[in-house]
Each structure stands twice: as C-alpha cells, then as structure tokens.
Chains A and B, each alone.
Chain A
C-alpha cells in the first residue's frame, strides 16, 4: 500500500536532493522524495493531496525534554509567557504577581473538595523584578487548603501557610539556607532546592517522584509533540521501574500514539554496575516507538542555582563553587562499563569544570575501551569554551546545547551568574559547529516550552527576554539550526540512519507546516505554523488531537 503525498515544498535535509514536490510512503517508511513521475514508478499508489499547500520537513527531534511536562498541565499555569497546553488552549502569560494570584483564585473556585491541594507551575519571579511571592500572598487565595507553585526552574517552590503547616515548617527556629525567613522569624513560604521542597510538595499535589510520568501524562505529552512538529522525543531522566516501562510500552504501542519516545535511564541510586546491567536489560525491551537502553548521568547542578561546577574565575557574584552530583570515580567507572557493554551515555554538565571532568574521564575510559563511534553526548554543556569543544570533537563526542536558556535567563547570567563575557559564549553553537562537533539544541521541557522552532529561533537570534542580542558571534544560520533540530539531534541519539531526513528507507516521520522555515525569515522562525505531523506514516493533525 503506497501513498504519494504532494506538498507545496518538501525540505528533505538530504543534501543530494534538498527539495522535492512529492514523498512516497509505504508501511510507515519512506520510499523516496522526488517528483510525482519519479515516485509513480514504485507502482500502484494513491495520490494524497491533502498537504498540497503545506511545507513538509523531517519530523523534528527533541533531544532533551522530560515527559513530566504532560503531567504538569494538570496544574495551574503561572508562567510569564504565553504557552499552549496539550489540548491546544493557549494560556496567556501571567505578567504580574497579581495576575498569578488571580489565576490561582480562579482555579481555586473550581475545586470542589475543600481539602484538595491547589498546584501551580512555571512561576518565574525574575520577570516581576524579583518581587518575591510570600505565603501571605498565597494565603489570600486560600488559607485552608495547601497551595504550592513550582518555579520554572523546577528547583524552587512557593507555598502558602497551610502547606508549611502540613510540612511541619510553620515554626520559629528554622535555620536552613533554602528556607528564607520573614521578619516574624517564620518561613516566607519560598522553598529552595529539592530537599527542602519535598516535605511540602507531597502535600501540595506533586507526585512523590517529580520526574515521573503516568499514562495520562504520556498521552498529553504526545499531543504537545504533535503541536510542536516533534516526532521523536527524549525523556531525559527516567527512573524506568518495571511498572513505568510497562506503562510506557502500553501507551506508546497504541495505534494512535504520535511520537517515538527515547527514555534515558537516570543514574541516581544505582551503582555503576547495576546501572549498566539495567540498561542492557532495558535495551532488549525496545520497540519502534519506545527506544530503551540509554543512560543519563548528571555531573553537576545548575548555573542559576549556583550549583554548577565552575572553573576559574568562578561565579560572577562570588558565590562558592557548586556541587558534584556524582563522584569522579563513579563517572569514570560508568563510562568504562558503558563503553564495554555498548550502552549509549548522555551526561549533564552545566559548569565548565563539570564539562572538563567529563571530557577527561571519557578520554581515560576510551583509552581502555576504544569505541570508534560512541557519540557520548554532553547535555546543556552551557559554558564550554572553544578548547573544550575542539577536544570533544576529537574524542568523538556530541553536544546538545540549551539554546532556550539564553532567552529566558540570559539577562540573569549576564548580570549575576557568569558576567558579560562568559554569558556571551554560553551555548556557543557556532563555535561547536565550527569545530566539527555534532550538535543538537534543546528546550529541556517543561523547564522551557517544547518547540524546536522556538529553540532554533533562540540559537539563530540569541535574543534575551529583555531584547538584547547576547553573543552576536555565536549566532548560527537558519539552515544550521534546522539541521540541529532534525539530523543533529537524531545523531546524538544514534538514530540518524532512521530519522531526521526525508529520504528513501527512513521512517515516514514528517513535520507538516503552514510556513516555510527557510523563507519565513530568521526573526520569524519561532512563528512557523505547525499543522501537525506524520509519524511512521500515520497522520496527526494538531487541532484534532485535543481530547
């Protein structure tokens, strides 16, 4: 059963025939891209002209996201920027503290159970001139039910008095850097850091494991993918218990699940040996739409949380160096075991010292376990300098840079965390590419919204939220950005032979667009309209996937 689709234009990402008018699909795979005359020679076929006025390009690949975004949309959206939920409703940004409170109040009125918690997400007081939200503010929404609103970073939460009381934290004498106190000696309701959030988060509606995703969350996440033109998406820090894997298999196997999910097994709580043994076992359970067997390590914390490991000259505001999340010896052992067992590893590094450690240890491991095409990838890697990129390229590594960070927190980095010079070289896409490093760019959804065209726009324009261009030199071309959100990301997942371009033999994964991203102009790249996707030959229209 062959279908030939016509289109206004097909951007193939195959340099040998970069543009085509038709694409032929059979059994969920691509027979070829070319003219109708060329493709008709495959024999009997149906000509489908529904995309005659659309632009097709390879299904987009998001190389660093978390499926828990699907879960978060059950909570109240408190973000500063407009954002679209899985059902296609665009929530306007809440641009003041009052607007946040008003939105929470509206949601509160819709809860029928008097004790039910009220949960919000994506708060970011940076945009309210750092005007802190206090428990008194949230008490005005309700003083009787627990309320918790997690910040965009997912590392800070604001709660009301009731939630503090349930957590046992509404008392004097608390002495903890993550729990600021008010003039009355009691916590203000801001809880900084996962350890501090947990006693309250279990009372305000968050799951015990914030990274976890359930069946409904995974379904909702799939809808977000369709809306963003994404056909392959990573879940970059999954615990992957047997139950979680069963759920993921069940959900993704459904005939109408629209995305290929690539969950990476999170390292925490496992020895290097158990982690790799686990990944080897998981790999065997892989299906087309659930690719198991990769591993995610975390070397350090975050730059804006001052927990990233920095080399000289350290933090711009003089904060002490950050934290290691894994002992170097364990990182090395994990690399060695993983190389030996042919397990693919992605490592989170934010600060340049963490990046340096990962590079050095991987080099050591590679000397013992030479692996010509390992593609071990550093995720975020936000502060890497040119020398580090050069060395990574020589070692056969890849990078996935956090282009969106620039827009959301670039001003903060410029003024506070790393200062002007290093802020301008954060997420240095041009330097990475110039040194031959295979590169993806990412959203880290739900930290920032899933939307590769927006991510590409960030890498191309390097604008901060205040409208400054930060790092003119590190801008990349639209073409390079489109490569990064397709073949570039696919390469980091070792999937570039299957996806990332529209050419004979590949999966029929296609983003169906209203606009031509190569023509719309660099400044409008984020506004490319997405009609929907084709995933494995199945067609998903964004407006139709709403429940």
Chain B
C-alpha cells in the first residue's frame, strides 16, 4: 500500500519545525515519519525524543525523524523500505525549496501517494518577503504550489492587517485554502488525511468543533459516480479543507475519495469499508445543507440512471 506523504513548505521562520513538532505531539497513536533537511538547533522537541542517531531520531509512539541532507530522493527510497512502514510521511522542505518540484519528484517514486502540499507563511514577515529582491519569486512559487496555506503567527499582527494578508495570499495562490494559526496549532485532521484505509475507520461524531473547524460525516448508502462527487466536493464554493470517505462507485467497486482543498483523488478501496464521507472546513464556511444536497443529487442521478451533471466539464486529475 502506498505511503501517504504530506509536504510542508515555506520560507525560513514560517514555523515549519514548530508545526512538525505539533504533529508529532498529536499523532495520537499514528506512526508519523518526518523528513527534515537538516538536524540541529533541535528540530524535534527534546521531550519527544527517545533516541538520537546520526541521521535518525526515534520518537515516542513509533514516530521517527530523519535528515535527508543532500539527497531527498534517496531518503524517500529508504523510508519507503522501512519495516514496519509508518502511517504517514511528513516532509519538511528546506526554506528555499519549491514544494511543487518536490511533489513532482515524489510522483516518480514507487510506494508514495501525495496527500497534499501545505505551505506555511509567517504573518509578520510574508508581505516583506513577497517584495524582497532576492526571494520574492521563491515565496510566490511556494504559495502557488500549496493546496493549503497556513498563515502562522497570526496573533502577531492586528486583525485588519491579517485580513489583507489573507486576501493577498488567496490572490497569489489562486486555488489554495488559507487558514490562520498560532504556533502551527491546528487539528491533525486538517493537516493530514485522518483515516486509515486498513482499519476502515470513519470517525463516529457527525459534527465536531475543534479550533474553529467543523467536521461533518455523511452516510452514502447507495452508489454514486465517485470521480464526479470528488470533483464537486473540491469546488471552491464548498470551501472544504479536506474530505475523505468511501463510496460504492457506479463501476460496481468500492472507491476511496480524497479531497484536499481543490486537489482531489479517487482510488480503489477494499470492500469492507463502510460507505460514508467526512468533510472538514472552517466552522463559519461549512454549509451542511448544501453538502447534503450535493450528495443527494449524486445519489439520485445514479438511481435514475442519469449521467452525472458536469461530466465533461473538467478533466479528471491523473
């Protein structure tokens, strides 16, 4: 089974290391493997470290942190061979790396599935960086590559300014969701896909509030066109940050649907999984009725033998 991989990009001082530590602290039994460009100046909070070797740090709960130094591809190949495999790989890119280029390299490797690109921006400095002679284009490319932009250190700028920065980032990105955060403290289900195929687990609560985010779960007892549904869920009007679930596809097989902001993917799934979908969005954005209506439309169309509504509009993602 392919390892899910999330790329964390962003310039120096955006809070990537803090975010990684936050993830490890809230891994909640999941075995995260973290790849960082370099060790030093405590990439991992000391109290999390179980043992430290030359290029690997063992962390309580089966998590590990490795430094990839000069050759990211080799480190990823080594990590894909870990036994037992981690549940999720988090790759912390270097400050000047272009996360999209890393994603392209990951796509060449066997054993990985890209979960998404998260670019962190430092609310205090990002506008200055975006105008810097030397790094402006690097910052812009990091923003363009993101599925999700985390505007970190949002407590350090005043609200009006924060709104302006968010608006700038939305325009600069053109497609990513922008979420503000402090110290990278975001629920893990926002940052990483939150379910494990092998355990077929869809969390039970139908609605849950957490840090201003809301999670909703919808049961989908009859077949739908999985690709069409995934594509529609990725439409910006729903403002979803993530969606994941399992459905009976019109092809007669079970499919896993995954949406990260506007990136969507449909893959085969084992038949034991229950058919339901879970979505996460900012509490103020989420429109439960609209999503329910969308799902209902998709179910009805299949029940009536009709084609899905905009089948020819958008080419499916490869």
Contact = CB atoms under 8 A, between A and B. Distances in A.
B71 A198 contact: yes
Interface in B281-318: 318
Interface string B94-112: 1110100100110111100
Interface residues of B, number: 33
B138 interface: yes
A466 interface: no
A327 B77 contact: no
A198 B38 contact: no
A479 B41 CA distance: 49
Contact of A327 (B96, B98, B110, B318): B96
Contacts of A329: 12-13, 95
Contacts of A324: 96, 134-135, 138
Given A175-B107, A177-B104, A198-B73, A357 B41 contact: no
Chain B's interface: helix, strand, loop or mixed, by majority? Answer: loop
A309 B13 CA distance: 22
A271 B41 contact: yes
Given A195-B105, A199-B77, A209-B70, A327 B94 contact: yes
A175 B104 contact: yes
B12 A199 contact: no
B74 interface: yes
Nearest to B55: A269
A61 B71 CA distance: 30
Contacts of B109: 168, 199
A217 to B, nearest CB: 18
B268 interface: no
A232 B299 CA distance: 76
A178 B108 CA distance: 10
A239 interface: yes
A274 B71 CA distance: 18
B174 interface: no
Contacts, number: 91
A268 B69 contact: yes
Contacts of B135: 324, 327-328
A357 B104 contact: no
A456 B134 CA distance: 34
A194 interface: yes
Interface centre among A209, A269, A357 (most CB of B within 10 A): A269
Contacts of A195: 72-73, 101, 105, 108
B89 to A, nearest CB: 16
A176 B70 contact: no
A168 B74 contact: no
Contact of A198 (B12, B69, B74, B104): B74
Nearest to B109: A199
A231 to B, nearest CB: 30
B37 interface: yes
Contacts of B98: 323
A353 B134 contact: yes
B96 A175 contact: no
Contact of B96 (A271, A325, A353): A325
Contact of A169 (B40, B72, B104, B108): B108
B264 interface: no
A174 B37 CA distance: 26
A173 interface: yes
Contacts of B74: 198, 202, 208
Contact of B70 (A199, A268, A357): A268
A196 B40 contact: no
B137 interface: yes
Main secondary structure of the interface of A (DSSP, over half): loop
B11 interface: yes
A329 B74 CA distance: 27
Nearest to B71: A198
A196 B108 contact: yes
Interface in A258-276: 266, 268-271, 273-274
Contacts of B11: 327
Interface in B39-55: 39-41
Contacts of A40: none
B96 A326 contact: yes
B246 interface: no
Nearest to A327: B95
Interface string A265-302: 01011110110000000000000000000000000000
A279 B71 CA distance: 21
Given A195-B72, A330-B12, A176 B96 contact: no
A21 interface: no
A211 B110 CA distance: 25
Given A323-B98, A353-B134, A173 B40 contact: no
A321 interface: yes
A353 B73 CA distance: 28
Nearest to B138: A324
Contacts of A357: 134
A196 B12 contact: no
A186 interface: no
B258 interface: no
A30 B104 CA distance: 57
B67 interface: yes
Contacts of B13: 329
A1 B153 CA distance: 72
A389 B283 CA distance: 58
A196 to B, nearest CB: 6
Nearest to B67: A269
A327 B38 CA distance: 13
B40 A270 contact: yes
Contacts of B94: 327
Contacts of B134: 309, 324, 328, 353, 357
Nearest to A311: B133
A386 interface: no
Contact of A330 (B71, B95, B107, B138): B95
A107 interface: no
Nearest to B137: A321
Given A168-B109, A176-B104, 6 more contacts: A174-B108, A175-B107, A211-B70, A268-B70, A274-B39, A323-B96
14 contacts: A168-B110, A169-B108, A177-B104, A195-B72, A209-B71, A239-B70, A269-B67, A269-B69, A271-B40, A273-B41, A321-B137, A324-B135, A327-B12, A329-B13
Interface of A: 167-169, 173-179, 194-196, 198-199, 202, 208-209, 211, 239, 266, 268-271, 273-274, 309, 320-321, 323-330, 353, 357
